[in-house]
Amino acid sequence: MKIGYLGPPGTFSEEALRAAQPDGAEPVPLPTVYDAVMAVHEGTVDRALVPIENSLEGSVNATLDALAVETRAVAIVGETVHPVRHCLIAARHLELAEIETVVSHPQANAQCARFIRERIGGARVLAAASTAEAVRVVAEEPGRPWAALGTRLAAELYGCEILRGGVEDVADNETRFVWLARADAGQDPSAGPWKTSLVFWGVGAQEPGWLVRCLSEFAFRGVNLTLIESRPRKAGLGHYMFFADLEGGDTDEGVSGAIEAVRGQTEELRVLGSYPAA
């Protein structure tokens, strides 16, 4: 089985993939989250593991947008939660006062914002496609006083030095990753407990109380929502799509009844996946 993930080697996505230890899997690093999602869509990989939510910075928009907008052929089939421990990494030993530039993925920069501000506030902050790519960039230019935020794995892979460990702003920082597969892949009905993820938007979205009416369909049936979030529909200002995670499988009576009731009040409702909860 080929499993795509956000590469290059050494990212937190690879750490999470290694921790899950799927038997006989062939890891396939891909340049972006979008590429990982679309590799499943195109069939070049059998599965993908992508980040969807962080405990400090919230949802990973690239994942939500790809699942909602770019493909209908990919479904969430599982999830896993992985602890995130950021390291400050350089190609050689540097004192914090010597660091002129910090480079990492925007999520990592945000998750370590307090450390950057208080300990290396004079450094400029640059974005990279991934934490591992940031470490690779720093490793290739050992003469520059640059540092990266990344994993211990990346420091080992690229022969760098860890200047500080655990530089995330909150010690129990963690990221939820989701397993993706083709929507027609099927699921093991014996697994559980279950969780269901939805996206919906509607012609009534401009009417007072429309969202309350939609969400009430779940409350009336005793279905607990664990996440609700809006994202632009990319159709002009004021037009949003709503993502929701809820407890239970989409074949449960209460869940299926609520989904159908909400579907009747929306322009579109899609089940992004019904899967065993972490």
Q: Is the pLDDT of residue 231 over 90?
A: yes
- Name the catalytic one among 177, 200, 218, 243: 177
Q: Is the pLDDT of residue 56 over 90?
A: no
> Quick one: 235 exposed, middle or buried, by C-beta within 10 A (0-12, 13-18, 19+)?
exposed
Q: Is the pLDDT of residue 188 over 80?
A: no
| Complete DSSP assignment for 93-135 | ---GGG--EEEE-HHHHHHTHHHHHHHSTTSEEEE-SSHHHHH
Q: Is the pLDDT of residue 104 over 80?
A: yes
Rg (CA), the chain: 20
Query: What pTM was estimated for this model as a whole?
Result: 0.88
Q: Is the pLDDT of residue 248 over 90?
A: yes
Residue 145: its pLDDT value, please?
96
DSSP type of residue 166: -
Given a contact cutoff of 8 angstroms between Cβ atoms, the answer to whether 116 and 125 are in contact is yes
Given a contact cutoff of 8 angstroms between Cβ atoms, the answer to whether 74 and 181 are in contact is yes
12-52 pLDDT, tens digit per residue, is 999 999 998 777 889 999 999 999 999 999 999 999 999 99
Mean pLDDT of 167-192: 84
Mean pLDDT of 154-180: 94
Residue 203: its pLDDT value, please?
75
185 pLDDT band, cuts 50/70/90, is: confident
- CA–CA separation, 101 vs 163, rounded Å? 14
186 pLDDT band, cuts 50/70/90, is: low
Q: Is the pLDDT of residue 237 over 90?
A: no
Q: Is the pLDDT of residue 190 over 70?
A: no
CA-based nearest residue to 233, from 259, 208, 268, 264: 268
Instruction: Please count the other Cβ atoms lying within 10 Å of the Cβ belonging to residue 24.
Output: 5
Question: Is 200 among the residues known to form the active site?
Answer: no
Greatest extent of the chain over all pairs of C-alpha atoms, in Å: 63
Mean pLDDT of 181-200: 82
Mean pLDDT of 154-176: 94
Instruction: Please count the other Cβ atoms lying within 10 Å of the Cβ belonging to residue 138.
Output: 28
CA-based nearest residue to 116, from 130, 129, 99, 132: 99
HSE-up (13 A, CA, CB side) for residue 202: 22
How far, rounded to the nearest angstrom, does the alpha carbon of residue 135 sit from its chain's CA centroid? 20
- Name the catalytic one among 63, 71, 131, 175: 175
Question: Is 175 among the residues known to form the active site?
Answer: yes
Minimum mean pLDDT among 58-72, 95-109, 200-214, 246-260: which range?
200-214
Q: Is the pLDDT of residue 189 over 90?
A: no
> What's the mean per-residue pLDDT of the chain?
93
Residue 234: its pLDDT value, please?
80
108-126 pLDDT, tens digit per residue, is 999 999 999 999 998 999 9
CA-based nearest residue to 278, from 101, 41, 77: 77
Residue 23: its pLDDT value, please?
75
Residue 187: its pLDDT value, please?
65
